[in-house]
């Protein structure tokens, strides 16, 4: 992910947490100048330090605005969901899960033939707004979704 020095200064704690999930490249005037990576303890050189591994799939507790989430997802190759202001890194699913998705999706393809709605599989961002509270936004990537209102897909195809 590319991040400007100004953005790092304004949200340093957020990027420290994100550095556990992906490499953060810091830019100044559009040029890459530094890299933010997690600190690794080499047990061979320091055997007295007990080091537990950090969670690999979800940076729980990272709170962002929806605009920050959009910027992050545009600059990252990782897949995230944004639920109630928190960021969740999506893990790769296991074989039994993917097999179940395949079976359901296959049946949806047959069912929706010649109909106005269209089934799709992830990754595909679905933005959800709470009724009466347009500022309460969540963005998820369901395994399977059905699109009936094609006019709700934005100019970026989301």
Stretch 128-139: mean pLDDT, rounded?
A: 81
- The half-sphere exposure of 50 on its side-chain side, counting CA atoms within 13 A, is 0
pLDDT in tens, 40-66: 656 555 554 444 444 444 445 678 899
Residue 67 lies in a domain: no
Residue 2 lies in a domain: no
Domain that holds residue 148: 93-158
Does the global pTM surpass 0.75? Answer: no
User: How far is Cα 65 from Cα 35, in angstroms, rounded to an integer?
Assistant: 24
Residue 139 lies in a domain: yes
User: How far is Cα 97 from Cα 100, in angstroms, rounded to an integer?
Assistant: 5
Residue 121 lies in a domain: yes
User: How far is Cα 78 from Cα 81, in angstroms, rounded to an integer?
Assistant: 10
Stretch 82-104: mean pLDDT, rounded?
A: 90
- Look at the chain and report how many structural domains it folds into: 1
pLDDT in tens, 5-33: 777 777 777 877 787 778 888 888 888 88
- Mean of the per-residue pLDDT values for the chain? 80
Comparing 135 with 25, the larger pLDDT belongs to: 25
Residue 97 lies in a domain: yes
Residue 18 lies in a domain: no
Residue 143 lies in a domain: yes
User: How far is Cα 142 from Cα 54, in angstroms, rounded to an integer?
Assistant: 26
Residue 154 lies in a domain: yes
């Amino acid at each position: 992910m590319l991040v400007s020095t100004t953005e790092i200064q304004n949200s340093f704690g957020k990027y420290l947490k994100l550095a556990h999930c992906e490499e953060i490249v810091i830019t100044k005037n559009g040029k890459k100048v530094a890299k933010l990576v997690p600190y690794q303890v080499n047990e061979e050189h320091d055997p007295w330090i007990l080091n537990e591994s950090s969670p690999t799939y979800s940076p729980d507790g990272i709170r962002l605005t929806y605009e920050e989430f959009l910027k992050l997802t545009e600059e990252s190759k990782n897949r995230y969901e944004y639920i109630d202001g928190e960021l969740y890194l999506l893990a790769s699913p296991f074989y039994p899960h993917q097999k179940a998705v395949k079976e359901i999706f296959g049946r949806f393809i047959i069912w929706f033939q010649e109909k106005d709605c269209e089934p799709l599989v992830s990754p595909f961002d679905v933005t959800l707004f709470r009724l009466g509270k347009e500022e309460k936004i969540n963005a998820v990537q369901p395994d399977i979704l059905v699109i009936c209102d094609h006019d709700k897909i934005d100019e970026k195809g989301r």
